[in-house]
Amino acid sequence: MNKLKLGMIGGGLGAFIGDAHRRASRICNDYELVGGVFDVDYEKSKEFARNEGIDLSRCYESVDDLIKSELQLPAGKRMEVVAIVTPNALHYPFAKKLLTNGFHLVCEKPMTMTVEEALDLEKLVAEKGLTFALTHTYTGYPMVRQMRDIIATGALGTIQRIDAQYYQGWINSIIHGTGSRITGVWRLDPKHAGVSSCMGDIGVHAFNLIEYTTGLEVKEVLSDLNPVKENIELDLDGTVLLRFGKNLKGVIRASQVCGGEENCITIAVYGSKASLKWAQEDPNYLYMLSDSEPTKIFKPAHGYNDRFAEESHTMPAGHPEGIYEALANIYKGAAKSIRGESFIPGEFPTVHDGVRGMQFIHSVVKSNTDGNVWVKVE
């Protein structure tokens, strides 16, 4: 099978997320990185390309240069799909240009800066008939996919409570450092990050996991956000109450100031018959709890799992898999879609998930700004 020719915007020297995307594309073995715009500094971009063994003729100074040059190549040689791994503010303008010119996309979240931009991309993807994969990476874990399938069978009974959290502590050393360190972090700058730091960066992952695993939509939110320090413009901590319907409520707790926490994302879905719990830092274990039976533990690479989960692991039983493999599953699903092959719904988050994410982020910020009131997610 010919590998898809992949381009990348951002993700150059020292960029963790760019490295994660490259590793994931190699793990799924469906892509070949052939070029891109790897840094706003062209010299650094070329240095990265040389380090990666990429032809310098396909290391471009701008996205416009990339589009113009790639479209001049024969169809069999040009980039087919481009990964956007830049700061948030650049996602929308680059995505719109690339989609308009016929490139499939893999894009980091949050997808855009505004709901209006997200809806514009959703419309453009539909008009062009292109694949748009949004990297909500946690949906790629086998046991998250098993969780989704179990819930879809109705095994939990009536869902009565949903809790999700994402705790980190990385920003403490920055906000309690010097002023120059604070101003040098793009996630704290509304011009680059958007209207939210904590909820826009990690709270939206918890939101996405809830809708992904349950198939339900959050209808309303009530939030209480905290910038922690007076000179911080964006939220670094917050709690969001959720309403799904009259008799189903939930909560999202997210923070970037929980000292000692790393990437503590968890989700629990509680039903009238049974409940499910999963934690990203121990991702090979999915717990099913019941009042009438002993706790069950599901693990990847076992025949008792559903087809979706079993097609999502890459290693034999007992060999832990992590974030790179989860992201690789999203790349694998996107490759199937780009090639026109059949794929299981949920193999990759779509542009619609990006719309929902932006609706969540802006509704949460509005709820807090308006005095901690209920706001519809729309």
Q: How crowded is the C-beta side of 5, counted as CA atoms within 13 Å?
A: 15
Q: What confidence category does residue 305 fall into, taking pLDDT thresholds of 50, 70 and 90? A: very high
Whole-model pTM? 0.94
Least confident of 112-116, 166-170, 175-179, 295-299: 175-179
pLDDT in tens, 153-181: 999 999 999 999 999 999 998 888 765 45
Which tokens is 67 given? 């589009």
Q: What confidence category does residue 183 fall into, taking pLDDT thresholds of 50, 70 and 90? A: low
Alpha carbon 320 to chain centroid, angstroms: 21
* Selection from 332, 335, 334, 298 nearest residue 317 by Cα: 298
Query: What integer pLDDT is reported at residue 185 of this predicted model?
Result: 83
Residue bearing tokens 């308006």: 370
CA distance 198 to 236: 5
Instruction: Give kind and range of the element (H or E) at residue 365.
Output: helix 351-369
CATH pick for 142-314+351-369 out of 3.40.50.720, 3.30.1330.120, 3.30.70.1290, 3.30.360.10 = 3.30.360.10
CA distance 248 to 159: 7
Counting residues of the chain whose pLDDT is more than 90, the rounded percentage is 92
Query: What integer pLDDT is reported at residue 314 of this predicted model?
Result: 86
Residue boundaries of the structural domains of the chain: 4-137, 142-314+351-369
* Average pLDDT for 274-296: 97
Instruction: Yes or no: say if 361 and 195 are a contact pair by the CB < 8 Å rule.
Output: yes
Residue 100 pLDDT exceeds 90 = yes
Mean pLDDT rounded to a whole number for the chain: 96
Residue 76 per-residue DSSP state: T
* Average pLDDT for 34-53: 97
Instruction: Yes or no: say if 356 and 363 are a contact pair by the CB < 8 Å rule.
Output: no
Instruction: Yes or no: say if 331 and 8 are a contact pair by the CB < 8 Å rule.
Output: no
Alpha helix (H) ranges present in 187-341?
190-193, 198, 204-214, 307-310, 323-339
Residue 59 per-residue DSSP state: B
**DSSP β-bridge partners for residue 239:** 224, 253
What are the CA-CA distances from residue 313 to residues 38, 151, 178, 187, 262 (Å)?
30, 20, 44, 32, 24
**DSSP β-bridge partners for residue 104:** 81
Residues with Cβ within 8 Å of 6's Cβ and at least 6 positions away in sequence, in order, are 25, 31, 32, 33, 34, 79, 80, 81, 82, 83
* Selection from 232, 163, 201, 217 nearest residue 361 by Cα: 201
Which tokens is 296 given? 């069950």
Instruction: Yes or no: say if 190 and 365 are a contact pair by the CB < 8 Å rule.
Output: no
Q: Quick one: CATH architecture of 4-137?
A: 3-Layer(aba) Sandwich (3.40)
Residue 234 pLDDT exceeds 90 = yes
What are the CA-CA distances from residue 191 to residues 1, 107, 238, 356, 362 (Å)?
42, 19, 21, 21, 15
* Average pLDDT for 196-208: 97
CA distance 105 to 99: 7
Residue 184 pLDDT exceeds 80 = no
Q: What confidence category does residue 258 fall into, taking pLDDT thresholds of 50, 70 and 90? A: very high
Instruction: Yes or no: say if 374 and 231 are a contact pair by the CB < 8 Å rule.
Output: no
Residue-by-residue DSSP string for 24-52: HHHHHT-EEEEEEE--SSHHHHHHHHHHH
Counting residues of the chain whose pLDDT is more than 70, the rounded percentage is 98
Residues with Cβ within 8 Å of 328's Cβ and at least 6 positions away in sequence, in order, are 23, 24, 25, 27, 28, 140, 314
Query: What integer pLDDT is reported at residue 320 of this predicted model?
Result: 82
Cα Dmax for the chain: 65
Residue 182 pLDDT exceeds 80 = no
